[in-house]
Amino acid sequence: LAKTTQPISMDSYEGQEVNITCSHNNIATNDYITWYQQFPSQGPRFIIQGYKTKVTNEVASLFIPADRKSSTLSLPRVSLSDTAVYYCLVGPPFTGGGNKLTFGTGTQLKVEL
């Protein structure tokens, strides 16, 4: 699986837009990019997944440039409840035998008033 690099921590204030960038220089042609969110004392939760260009859902947007060597998770107007660890994962889609996710250390986002 492609190795990912993301900042260890980020700070923000309520109402601001937060952009977390992930580098994945060795991404393979059939790899997808997926972001998970983890609150203390909970398991990771799926946020968004994409292959190229831009993907948007009710929670976040994911921007992927043409070369796909990086991606940016964008959280609009964050609130205190967005304080969590955010993981960027890269890997192929399900291929029939299940697909294991490999997590890095993630980015600790802290949102303040």
Q: Which residues bind another protein (CB under 8 A)?
A: 32, 34, 41-46, 49, 87, 91-94, 97-106
Tell me whether residue 32 or residue 71 sits nearer to another protein (CB atom).
32
For residue 7, the minimal CB distance to another protein (Å) is 14
The partner residues of 87 in beta bridges, in order of sequence, read 36
> Which residues share a beta bridge with 52?
none
Least distance from another protein to the Cβ atom of residue 43, Å: 3
Q: Residue 81 or residue 113: which is nearer to another protein going by CB?
A: 81
Q: Tell me whether residue 58 or residue 113 sits nearer to another protein (CB atom).
A: 58
Distances (CA, A) of 42 to 37, 39, 69: 10, 6, 30
Q: What is the nearest approach in angstroms of another protein to the Cβ of residue 51? A: 11
Residue 9's contacts (CB-CB under 8 Å, 6 or more residues apart) are 107, 108, 109, 110
Rounded to the nearest whole angstrom, what is the least distance from the CB of residue 39 to another protein in the complex? 10
Q: How far apart are CA 82 and CA 93, in angstroms?
A: 27
Q: What are the beta bridge partners of residue 32?
A: 91
Structure tokens at 76: 């609009």
Q: Considering beta carbons, is residue 58 or 94 the nearer one to another protein?
A: 94
